[in-house]
A and B are shown apart, each in its own frame.
Chain A
Amino acid sequence: LAKTTQPISMDSYEGQEVNITCSHNNIATNDYITWYQQFPSQGPRFIIQGYKTKVTNEVASLFIPADRKSSTLSLPRVSLSDTAVYYCLVGFAGKSTFGDGTTLTVKP
Chain B
Amino acid sequence: DTGVSQDPRHKITKRGQNVTFRCDPISEHNRLYWYRQTLGQGPEFLTYFQNEAQLEKSRLLSDRFSAERPKGSFSTLEIQRTEQGDSAMYLCASSPRGVASTDTQYFGPGTRLTVL
Contacts and interface: CB of A to CB of B under 8 A. Distances in A.
B27 interface: no
A66 interface: no
B1 to A, nearest CB: 14
Given A34-B103, A44-B91, A87-B42, 10 more contacts: A31-B101, A41-B110, A42-B107, A43-B91, A43-B93, A46-B106, A93-B45, A93-B55, A94-B58, A98-B45
A50 B58 CA distance: 25
B44 interface: yes
B34 to A, nearest CB: 11
Contacts of A13: none
Interface in A6-54: 30-32, 34, 36, 41-46, 49
Interface in B76-116: 91, 93, 100-110, 112
Given A49-B104, A92-B100, A93-B56, A43 B110 contact: yes
Contacts of B102: 32, 49, 92
Contacts of A30: 101
B22 interface: no
Contact of B55 (A42, A94, A97): A94
Residue in A32, A45, A92, A99 whose Cβ sees the most chain B Cβ within 10 Å: A92
Q: Per DSSP, are chain A's interface residues mostly helix, strand or loop, or mixed?
A: loop
Given A93-B31, A94-B48, A94-B55, A43 B108 contact: yes
Contact of B33 (A41, A49, A93, A101): A93
A94 B45 contact: yes
A44 B106 CA distance: 8
B28 to A, nearest CB: 17
8 contacts: A32-B101, A43-B107, A93-B45, A94-B45, A94-B56, A97-B45, A98-B43, A100-B42
